[in-house]
Chain A
Amino acid sequence: MPKQIHLAAHFPGVNHHTVWTDPSHQPDTQTAFASFEHLARTAERGKLDFLFLAEGLRLREQRGQLVDHDVVGRPDTYTVLAALAGVTSRLGLAGTINATFNEPYELARQFATLDHLSAGRAAWNVVTSSDAFHGANFRRGGYLDHADRYERAREVVEAARALWDAWAADAVVADAATGVYARDRSIGLVRTDGRLVDIEARPTLPRPPQGHPVIIQAGDSDAGRELAAQVADAVFSRHGSLEEGRAFYADVKGRLARYGRSPEDLKILPGASFVLGDTPAEAEERIREIQRQQVRPAVARAFVEQLWNRDLSDYDVDGPLPEIDPLVEAPSITQGRAATFKDPFAVAATWRALAAEKGLSIRELVIEVIGRQSFVGTPEHVADEIDRYVQSDASDGFILVPHLTPHGLDEFVDRVVPLLQERGSFRTEYTGTTLREHLGLPAAGHFGRTLDGVGAADEALPVA
């Protein structure tokens, strides 16, 4: 049997990739529960491993104003996932929730609740942010040093895992005949004495059905990769070429041994977009139209402004790139998304060269730079490519990112999934009930023994 592919679906996000000018898009399309339900049911129909939701902590800004040209606004991640637990039965439910502006006690409790209510289908994408921009909406403000972000993530995950382990696996007896609900001294007190997480807590929930909900990590830096190797069950990585994918895969999986873990204990799942057509030419035609919708004039201008770090509203996006240089000394005009440009002068030089070589306007250049889609072609071609990446160890599968809400996954499930199933590299039925089982991950007990600085004591509190 070929290596099995793992597929997930990303709910279309708050960025240029999501096409909101489609006639099907209504003012409530990005928030209506029907949208989430449709995508979840479609993913479940396609036997996908999980649905993935991103998170927002503050609306994005550019030049001191709200970004208004992309999708803006979304519901709360945790409560949407809890609502989806009631209308799905097998699909994993994954969400990004920030570890900086939430307490480990409540994060552990929310994911334990989601895992119980979904009978073992919860996953948490742990991210951190340290900036005062997001902190302005929270009690602590931007309190965290940038350098401490991964330490914070590690301590929060370890505290959450200790809280999930606090009730003995067999704590709940619920024996009506004898009247024993929970075994004596079976609910441990968790003490952490971390620099960033110093708590003493006794959680209100028994060990979750999965033991530990699945942990996803998305950082690509060296520290991010190390954290993934240490604590994560899956990595949400960036999609690149086959060679880049193989290098990333080998690097991250190669780090597992030092934590006593095996390569199959951590799944590498790049995000991937797709455009299908009945013929290669039709797919090419569709992608050109999608790119025109994604990179509308305001999007193109805003993107170039991010690199130039200045107001370019006087420039015609159908004209050439600015001849003036990017502003590098000034504070960033962009707030609320990850900085993407390390060396603006070098990038500007590359863009100018590319634009000169191909004769591109600003908008055409931006399409060239950010309009790229991962898999473009006939369903047969896309299935071939996905399978090739997985069989060549460039990934363990993909988190698919549709460009339309909520019907963007329909065609993939109808046309590509059956081809992958025919090849024997993707399941035709769910064989397990939990997300851990879908992902082929080991039982969570493994982590409970490797925590450091965290202990579950068994001393009892007085009877209330």
Chain B
Amino acid sequence: MSESRPFHLAVELSGAGRHPAAWRLPDADAAGLLTAAHWAELVRTAERAGAVFAAFADSVQPPSAATDVVQARLDATGLAALLGPLTARIGLVPVTPVTYAEPFHLAKALATIDIVSGGRVGWQVDVAAPAGSGPGDVQAAQFHGRSAAGAAAQWREAHDVIEVVRRLWDSWEDDAIVLDAATDRYIDRSRVHDVAFTGETFSVAVASITPRSPQGQPIVVARGDSPYALAVAVTGADVIRVAARDVQGAADLVARVRAAVAGSGRPAGSVHVLLDVETLLGADEAAARGRLAELDSLAARAFDPSGLHVVAGVDRAADALADLVELTGVDGIVLQPLAHAGDLALLADEVTPRLRAQGRLVDRPAPGGPDAPRTLRDAFGLDRPISRYTAAR
């Protein structure tokens, strides 16, 4: 192994894990999957594992008719809000399909999660299933008067949504609340700004109702796997997530993303590229293989990895993750555990300590010192931007 630069570890959580039978493992807490206690325990474990953020998968896809998989799914935005006061360092990233959502509501909900978490929200932008697909029509029918649009139109709209949400986050300057009893002014109204956005599919006229949040601009996460998504991510995201079938495919994709970022004129260090890796951990190699065999035996069919994956004992897992970073040139990895319960504990207790001892994990302290609150921007080494409206003065 060569000398490597430190990387970020993040996790993405969904159901009981990526494996369809994950909920059947003895430690999976199948009955508690919708409770606050379950998610608090899980995400605190991810926090202990040094994860820079936990992403919460979500979509507007309805449950299927399958009886043997977890069909229940909480609203990721509410889940991230719940976890704000219950955690201290980890970023909280709800995945939000914007296609049928109101941008104004999104902006204030995310700003509010930023407030209740002390500056640790991220926002992963997604779109609904496009027109022409079965799921596209099924998803659209859930919303009054809506029909599915094509992927290109959906991502154009997502671009607009990011723009307007970012404007809304800036619409209150940091010092807008003046509490000036002498002049009877709670705010200085010259520091609260209309966003005046008119796009192809929606418009938003005025300022947010929510004052500027701790990060000012929460981290925006987007996927860079498809050309439409990548075009939006390159201009609008701080973190770009990619997935690939194999190492070479990942390396090529990462190179394309980096070239696109460079071509957009954004500074290279301002965008972090993270690679999805499905993981199943064991105390050793045999234990990991045993767990996979157990899961596969419980499922209707064997696990079919959707891309890069690491099924390994804790020793080799740490090296395998570091190697993936080296070989693909990413800034970090989003672990997608096949089974939350066991994987996150092993990550926290065994894998992270190894990576830390090798100096492989980025773990920036808060600018205010080790005990100061650390925002998600801090964790990524991104400065807190001043409002565009302050800058324009």
Query: A181, B83: Cβ atoms under 8 Å?
Result: no
1/0 per position for B113-139, CB-CB distance to A under 8 A? 101101000000000000000110010
Residue of B nearest to A176 (CB): B24
Query: B144, A199: Cβ atoms under 8 Å?
Result: yes
1-52 of chain B: CB within 8 A of chain A: 21, 23-26, 28, 30-31, 33-36, 39-40
Query: A82, B82: Cβ atoms under 8 Å?
Result: yes
Query: B184, A204: Cβ atoms under 8 Å?
Result: no
Query: A205, B144: Cβ atoms under 8 Å?
Result: no
Query: B82, A85: Cβ atoms under 8 Å?
Result: yes
B226 at the binding interface (Cβ < 8 Å) = no
List A contacts of B24 (CB < 8 A).
Answer: 176, 179
Report the interface size for chain A: residues with CB under 8 A from the other chain. 84
Query: A201, B141: Cβ atoms under 8 Å?
Result: yes
Query: A202, B63: Cβ atoms under 8 Å?
Result: yes
Query: B85, A86: Cβ atoms under 8 Å?
Result: yes
Residue of B nearest to A205 (CB): B72
66-123 of chain A: CB within 8 A of chain B: 66, 68-76, 78-80, 82-83, 85-87, 101-106, 109-110, 112-114, 116-119
142-190 of chain B: CB within 8 A of chain A: 142-145, 172, 176-179, 181, 184-189
A109-B74 Cα distance, complex, nearest whole Å:
8
Chain A interface: which of B99-107, B250-258, B374-382? Answer: B99-107
A58-B25 Cα distance, complex, nearest whole Å:
48
Query: B68, A179: Cβ atoms under 8 Å?
Result: yes
Residue of B nearest to A132 (CB): B205
B298 at the binding interface (Cβ < 8 Å) = yes
Report the interface size for chain B: residues with CB under 8 A from the other chain. 84
A331 at the binding interface (Cβ < 8 Å) = no
Residue of B nearest to A97 (CB): B105
A194-B105 Cα distance, complex, nearest whole Å:
25
A187 at the binding interface (Cβ < 8 Å) = yes
A72 touches which of B187, B203, B205 (Cβ 8 Å): B187
List A contacts of B141 (CB < 8 A).
Answer: 199-201
181-224 of chain B: CB within 8 A of chain A: 181, 184-189, 192, 201-207, 209-211
Asked, given contacts A33-B115, A73-B211, whether A79 binds B177 with beta carbons under 8 Å apart, the answer is no
A198 touches which of B25, B28, B144 (Cβ 8 Å): B144
Task: For residue A457, give the distance in angstroms from its CB to the closest CB of chain B.
Answer: 13
Residue of A nearest to B15 (CB): A181
Query: A65, B74: Cβ atoms under 8 Å?
Result: no
Task: For residue B42, give the distance in angstroms from its CB to the closest CB of chain A.
Answer: 13
A118-B35 Cα distance, complex, nearest whole Å:
8
A464 touches which of B61, B192, B210 (Cβ 8 Å): B61
Residue of B nearest to A139 (CB): B202
Asked, given contacts A83-B82, A176-B30, whether A462 binds B209 with beta carbons under 8 Å apart, the answer is no
